[in-house]
Amino acid sequence: MNYRNILNSITKKEFAQVYFLMGDEPYFIDSITKTAIDTIIPDEHKTLNQAIFYGRDSDVNIILNELKQFPFGFQKRLIIIREAQHLKNIEYLENYFEKPQPSSILIVCYKNKKLDKRKKIYKILESSHVIFNSQKIYDNKIADWIKKYLETKNIVIEPKACNTIIEYIGNDLSKISNEINKICSDSSVKKITNDLINDQIGISKEFNLFELQKSLGKKDKNKALIIMNYFAANPNKNPSVLILSSIFNYYNKLLLIKQIKDKSTLAKKIGVNTYFLNDYIQASKKYEFKELLNIINLICEYDLRTKGINNNKISQSDLLKELITKILYCNNILIQNKEQTY
């Protein structure tokens, strides 16, 4: 059963007796658990009919005893095991999985790990209960996920706004959904624009990662350095790890454009919205292939230096400005090095 089907069945009050939620993406596990908490037991009956355990601090025998209790004043009980990957002797639940208490619903949150499919516990769950593998979404699929998430709320989003969210938040679905939900709390919002995202996240309209990429793509030295000076003056809003990740991904895409011969599926292969594809193509024409390779090596070098490796007490902001300067003059440096070899 997939994520959407599980949510729909819970919402319709078509409950399974055991939900075993495992895998690398915590967002889907948390979302299913929250839906179950909001749906299965009414608030007035939660005190006597709902219990939450944490694997690291819990005894499996106490959990088993709780599961065998009968509901009080309601027809169901909900038992949740959070951080179940830390629960000792989780295999003791096998007998319960084979013969669960009909009035109890158990949700097991087994994050960042997976059960071994060869083991008995997995085979029991697979044959009789709901077992869900929560998988990470590839970076080039995040934009599609955002659009589909908003479709469930009958809201559309501008491509540029979507790109800004990804640049500043990354692939953390929980953080992305939290920011989106803040905007959607205003019932008058039917379309999310880039200005709306900038206001929500607190991004300058002139000095941001998107504008930095544009200036680098055009080799606009003045604009790029002005933006970097702004970043240096506002380090809390523009951490070095975010800037380095952004420009690394940007130049990696330009390098891929040079390598991919079939341009018909280029947007999909480099993981960008077709709305921005021409900007990337035009930027790639500004750089030689060897120049891009050198820039990526530079970014990796300065990433290490911002982490204290081979860094002679230079501040992170100064390192980043130095990096941007070298990127913008990379082709000149290559030409000089070439001339020196003759």
- pLDDT for residue 117: 93
CA distance 91 to 241: 41
Closest to 256 in 3D by CA, of 237, 227, 277: 277
269 and 219 housed in the same domain: yes
289 and 320 housed in the same domain: yes
125 and 228 housed in the same domain: no
Helices (H) and strands (E) in the chain, counts: 18, 7
CA distance 235 to 134: 34
Report helix, strand or coil for 28.
helix
Report helix, strand or coil for 52.
strand
- pLDDT for residue 226: 92
- pLDDT for residue 274: 85
270 and 301 housed in the same domain: yes
Mean pLDDT in consecutive groups of 10 residues from the start of the chain, 342 residues: 94 96 96 96 95 95 95 96 95 94 96 93 94 91 92 92 87 91 89 89 84 93 91 86 93 94 86 88 93 94 90 86 89 53 46
Q: What is the DSSP letter of 86?
A: G
220 and 275 housed in the same domain: yes
Q: What is the DSSP letter of 73?
A: S
Q: What is the DSSP letter of 205?
A: S
11 and 112 housed in the same domain: yes
> Residue 189 is part of a domain; what is its CATH number?
1.10.8.60
30 and 128 housed in the same domain: yes
88 phi, psi to nearest 5 deg: -75, 140
CA distance 157 to 208: 19
Closest to 215 in 3D by CA, of 165, 279, 140: 279
- pLDDT for residue 327: 92
178 and 218 housed in the same domain: no
191 and 247 housed in the same domain: no
In the chain, beta strands by DSSP E? 18-23, 50-54, 77-82, 104-111, 130-134, 156-157, 191-192
Tokens at residue 242, please?
């975010």
- pLDDT for residue 199: 85
- pLDDT for residue 342: 43
273 and 225 housed in the same domain: yes
User: For the chain, how many structural domains are there in total?
Assistant: 3
CA distance 269 to 221: 29
119 and 37 housed in the same domain: yes
Strands 130-134 and 156-157: unpaired
In which domain, by residue range, is 230 found? 209-340
